[in-house]
Amino acid sequence: MDLTEQVENELCQTGIEELDVMLGGGVPTGSTVLVVGSSGSGKTTLCMQYLINGARRGERGVFFTITEPLFKLTKNMEGFDFYDKQLIESGMVNLIDLRIISERLGLDTEKYTVEDAAALLDVLKDIADELNVKRLVIDSITALCYRLQTKEMIRDFIFKLGSSLAAMKCTTFLTSEVPPRVFQYSQYGIEEFIADGIIFLGDVERKGDLIRTFQVIKLRGQAHSRTKLAMSISSRNGVELAPLLKSRE
Ligand SMILES: Nc1ncnc2c1ncn2[C@@H]1O[C@H](COP(=O)(O)OP(=O)(O)OP(=O)(O)O)[C@@H](O)[C@H]1O
Ligand SMILES: [Mg+2]
């Protein structure tokens, strides 16, 4: 195996160029990365771009949504040039609404018992195995946990999810919703502990403008930059990163 091949097998390239550079090539294959941000910070867009970029490299992906119905998700994503309907139709990127899965399992879609959550987790795992996916997204872990009734149930579920994901071979991005302008990684304070990596999408106010920021907080097993970058979202390029401080000319 030559070096390039080895890097390709061991690292999962996000396809977001500046991020892969920051990470020294990509995310270690098989890791779980928490994508943290407040409402509108770009979590869904970043995760979809990660899956589409993977599909273009021949890596099958699955996107489990629980926050947005599929028609809304696809409508939003169709506004981006990177989004390719054909990759969805060909099954290279699979979009699955967890609420529909819950309904099919005969579960209450808004409230889960411990057994419901375990059943859902099993189905999620079966789907990932059956499709042989290399990339998995759950959008969001916050909304999933919100359906559990007690802190203990949430804690138990998060740890079960963590061990299921760790046993899978795919590289996972989980989104985590946090309040705006607060530096915390999760709603329940434990989601970050099952994550190998944390990406924080924030913003800074500058002259009345809100600038999107992007920072890799941690990534187990990988030396990486922790520099805060400016992030932009455009129809043409989706999520893009650039240095926050423009270098002096
Ligand atoms: N086609 C587009 N072109 C440029 N920017 C867009 C486009 N579509 C969405 N955006 C920007 O991206 C933001 C939403 O990004 P996204 O839905 O990925 O955020 P999110 O973190 O998932 O939000 P939420 O927590 O509400 O789910 C919008 O608020 C808008 O500023
Ligand atoms: Mg979203």
Q: Convert the pLDDT of each residue in 22-63 to its tens digit.
A: 999 999 999 999 999 999 999 999 999 999 999 999 999 999
Task: Provide the pLDDT for residue 126.
Answer: 94
SS3 198: strand
Q: Which tens digits make up the pLDDT trace of 120-161?
A: 999 999 999 999 999 999 999 999 999 998 989 999 999 999
Please answer whether residues 177 and 162 qualify as being in contact, where contact means their C-beta atoms are separated by less than 8 angstroms.
no
- Measured in Å, residue 79 CA sits from the centre of ligand 1 at 10
| Angle subtended at Cα 136 by Cα 33 and Cα 36, rounded to the nearest 5 degrees | 35
Ligand 1 pocket test: which of 44, 48, 140 has the largest number of ligand atoms within 8 Å of its C-beta?
Answer: 44
List of domains in the chain: 26-201 (3.40.50.300)
**What is the pLDDT averaged over residues 201-209?**
90
Nearest ligand 1 atom to the CA of 235 is 3
SS3 164: helix
Query: How big, in percent rounded to 5, are the helix, strand and coil portions of the chain?
Result: 35, 25, 35
Structure-block tokens of residue 135: 């990339």
pLDDT band of residue 66 (cuts 50, 70, 90) is very high
pLDDT at 181 over 80: yes
Q: Which ligand is nearest to the CA of 75?
A: 1
Please answer whether residues 75 and 106 qualify as being in contact, where contact means their C-beta atoms are separated by less than 8 angstroms.
no
Dist CA 219 CA 31 (whole Å):
9
Q: Which residues line ligand 1 (CB under 6 A)?
A: 37, 39-45, 67, 76, 79-80, 177, 233-235
Residue with tokens 């046993």: 167
**What is the pLDDT averaged over residues 61-88?**
96
SS3 65: strand
Please answer whether residues 50 and 137 qualify as being in contact, where contact means their C-beta atoms are separated by less than 8 angstroms.
yes
Distances (CA, A) of 206 to 79, 113, 229, 248: 27, 45, 14, 18
- Measured in Å, residue 114 CA sits from the centre of ligand 1 at 33
Q: By C-alpha distance, which of 160, 163, 192, 165 is closest to 176? A: 192
- Measured in Å, residue 159 CA sits from the centre of ligand 1 at 29
pLDDT band of residue 2 (cuts 50, 70, 90) is low
Per-residue burial over 151-181, b = 16 or more CB atoms within 10 Å of its CB, e = otherwise = eebbbebbeebbebbeebebbbbbbbbbeee
pLDDT, mean over the chain = 92
Ligand 1 pocket test: which of 68, 178, 187, 233 has the largest number of ligand atoms within 8 Å of its C-beta?
Answer: 233
Task: Provide the pLDDT for residue 3.
Answer: 52
What percent of the chain stands above pLDDT 70? 95
pLDDT at 228 over 60: yes
**What is the pLDDT averaged over residues 57-73?**
96
Dist CA 154 CA 164 (whole Å):
15
pLDDT band of residue 248 (cuts 50, 70, 90) is very low
Task: Provide the pLDDT for residue 7.
Answer: 57
Please answer whether residues 139 and 46 qualify as being in contact, where contact means their C-beta atoms are separated by less than 8 angstroms.
no
- Measured in Å, residue 203 CA sits from the centre of ligand 2 at 16
